[in-house]
Amino acid sequence: MRELNEAATEDEYAQTLRSSENQTGLDVGTAALAELGFDERYEIRHLIAEGGMGQVVVAKDRQIGRDIALKRMLETRRDGARFVREARIQGQLEHPAIVPVYDLGLDPAGEAWFTMKQVRGSTLAEIVKRLRSGELGARNLYSRRRLLTAFSSVCLAIDFAHARGVVHRDLKPDNIMLGGFGEVYVLDWGIAKILGSTDPALEDARAHAAPGSGTSAGQIVGTVGYMAPEQLLGEIDSISPRTDVWALGAILFELLALVPLLPRRSLGEALAHTDEEVDARPSVRAAAEQIPPELDAICMAALARNPDQRLASARDLSDAIERYLDGDRDSQRRRELADKHLERAEVATTRAFANGPDALTARHQAMQEVSRALALDPTREDASDAMLRLLLSPPPEIPPEAREELRQSTLQAVRTVGWVGGLGFLSMLFFLPMFLWMGIRDWTSVGIAIGAILASAGLAFAQIKWPERSRPFMLAMIATSALLIATLTRITGPLMSAPILAIAICISFSLHPFGARLTGVIGFLVASLVVPMALEAVGVLDKSYVFTVEGMRVVPHMLQLRPTPTLVTFSLMGLTTGVALTLYLATLRDSLRNAQEQLHVHTWNLRQLVPANIQRAYQPRASRSSIAPPMR
C-alpha cells in the first residue's frame, strides 16, 4: 500500500513541535498521563492512500504531539484477523527499512486500526515514471547508483524478514519508498506469509489469525507482473524466500530498463502466458540505457523460472548489487577525475587556438589533459572529440621540438644524398677509358671535365661530414656540374647527349632534402646548355653543327667519333644515365610510399581512441591527408 508521497518541510515539523508544547489537558510534568479514548487522542486529517484491505490517513496524535499514519480496514473488507496479523507482523519486524508500528486497537465503532510512522518520499513506481518521461532533473536526482544503493537496502530488509520466517509476497515498485534524506521503506505487509518462524511474537501473530484467514492451496494473492511463477500458479507449498527474490528481480529489471518486466495483464491473461519464456536482460529491452552486462547477469540470476536455480536469498542479491557498485564507484571516481581533466583541457585548448605567445605550451597541456581523461574513461565521447579537434587542427607554426626532429631527419637525408651523389659523379670516371678508345682531340677539355667531376664529387662527399652546410656546397655543385655539362657539349654539341645528363642532374638538385631553389636549377640549365650554344652562335667557340642541304653534320671538338667506340660509349652513357635516374626516382617513390604508409598507420592507431560514430563524422576530413615533396 502506498504511503504519503510528499516531502515534509521544516515549517511543518516546526508547527508540529510547537503544537506539542501547547497540548490542553496534559501536564507533561506529571508521572502519569490521562487515559484518552480514540476520538480524544487521534484527530483524523486527510487520506494518504487506499489499498485492497484498508486505507491510510494522516492523524494527529494529541498524546505525543505528532503526525502519524493511521491504517484502518475498509468497510467492504471485514477480515479483522488478517488486519491484526498484518499489524503484528509489521510491528515485530524492527528494521530501519520497515515502517514501525506504534499502536493497535479498536475505534468506538469496533473497527480495528493501527498507527505507524508517517513516512514521506516517492515510491519507486513514481520515480520510474518520472525517469521514463524524461522529466527535467530526474536523472540527476535519481541516478542509477542511488537507486541501486536503495535497492540493496531493500534486499537486506527483506532478508531480515526472511530470517524471521516472513515472506512479503507483494513486493513491487508501489510498495517501496525512497525518502528525501536517504530513507528506504518497504511498505504493505498485508499478505505476508509466515514460514515456520521461531519468533514468539510472530507465532502470536499466527495464533491470532482466525481459521480461513490464511491462504489455501490454489488461492492466488499478490500483484500480477511481480509474482514469481510458483506464486502466480497458486503453489502455496512452494512459497519461500526465493519467491520474494523473484519479485525483487522484477523490480530491479524495471529500475534499469524503466519498463516493467512483464506487460500489464489481468490475472487470467497472466495465467494463460505462464509458459512463455521471458528475456530477463534489461539491456535487450532498453538498449539506450547502456546497461552493463553485470546487471543483466544479476537480473537473470534473480528471475530464474525454477526457484532452485534462482539466487538463494535476498542477501545474495544485495551482495551482487554491492559488488557491482564497488566497481561502479571506482568508475564514478574515474569519471569525476576525467571531468576535471577535461575542464582543464578546455581552458588550455581555448588558449592554444588563440595563437598567443603560449599557444604551443597550451596545446601541449591540452593534449596531456585530454590523454589523462581518456586514460581514466576511454568511452568518453567528449574527450575523444576534444582529442580529434586538437589532432585535426595543427598549430600554425612548427613546434621547436618538431622542428628539431625534422632538422635531424633532413641532415640524415643530406648525408645519404651526399654518398649517392659523390659515388654518382665518380662513376663518370669509368668512361675515361672509353674516351681514350674513341680518341681524344682536346686534352684541355678532358682535363676540365675530369676536374669538374672530382670537384662535384668532393662537394657531394663534403655534405656527409657537414650536412648543415649543405646549401653552399650545393650552390658550388651547381656551378661545377654546369661546367661539366658545358664541357661535355664539346663532344657532340649542346643538343645531343649532354641534355640527358643535365636533366638527370637537374632532377637530383630539385629533390635535394634542403630543396634547391628553382632559380638555381634554371640557372644550371642555362649555364650548361644555353651558354655554350650562345658562345657558338657569336663565334667564341667553334660550331658543333654544320647544316647543309643534305642535313646536319656533327663536328666533334673533344673526342674523335670512331664508329664502334662511339656507338658503344654513347649507348653505355645513355643506358647508365637512364638506369641511375630510374633507380633514384624509384628510391624516392619508395621513401614517399613508406612515409605515407606510416602516416596512415599512425592515423589508424589514433582513431582507435575514438568511438565509431565520431570516427565516421571526421573520416572525410581525415581521408584527404596526403604527402607531397616540398617545392620551392
Could you give phi then psi for residue 474, rounded to 5 degrees? -70, -40
69 in helix, strand or coil?
A: strand
Spell out the long-range contacts of 27-31 with Cβ–Cβ below 8 A and sequence spacing 24 or more.
none
DSSP per-residue codes, 223-292 = -TTSS-HHHHTT-GGG--HHHHHHHHHHHHHHHHHSS-SS----HHHHHHTTTS-----HHHH-GGG---
Nearest to 261 by CA among 215, 222, 311, 300: 300
Q: Are the C-beta atoms of residues 154 and 186 closer than 8 Å to each other?
A: yes
Exposure class string for 324-334: b at 16+ Cβ within 10 A, else e: bbeebeebeeb
Q: Are the C-beta atoms of residues 68 and 118 closer than 8 Å to each other?
A: yes
Q: Amino acid identity, residue 111?
A: E
Whose grid coordinates read 644550371? 524
Three cell numbers at 73? Answer: 480496514
- Residue 449 makes CB contacts below 8 A (sequence gap 6+) with 484, 487, 488, 558
Three cell numbers at 489? Answer: 657539349
Longest dimension (CA), the chain: 150
Q: Amino acid identity, residue 498?
A: A
CA angle, corner 595, sides to 413 and 363, nearest 5?
Answer: 95
Nearest to 97 by CA among 141, 164, 158: 158
68 in helix, strand or coil?
A: strand
Q: Give the β-pairing of 176-178 and 122-123.
A: antiparallel
Give the whole-angstrom CA distance, residue 573 versus residue 567. Answer: 10
Question: From the candidates 67, 79, 170, 188, which is the catalytic residue?
Answer: 170
- Residue 234 makes CB contacts below 8 A (sequence gap 6+) with 217, 218, 219, 220
Give the whole-angstrom CA distance, residue 564 versus residue 355. Answer: 69
Residues composing the chain: 632
Q: Rounded to the nearest 10 degrees, what angle do helices 518-525 and 470-492 cross at? A: 20
Could you give phi then psi for residue 47, rounded to 5 degrees? -75, 135
340-to-344, 347, 350 alpha-carbon distances in Å: 6, 11, 16
Spell out the long-range contacts of 324-333 with Cβ–Cβ below 8 A and sequence spacing 24 or more.
324/148, 324/292, 324/294, 324/295, 324/298, 325/145, 325/148, 325/149, 325/152, 327/294, 328/145, 328/148, 329/145, 331/377, 332/145
Question: Quick one: which H or E segment has residue 167?
Answer: strand 166-167
Based on the residue annotation, tell me whether 170 is a catalytic residue of this protein.
Answer: yes
Please list the active-site residues. Answer: 170
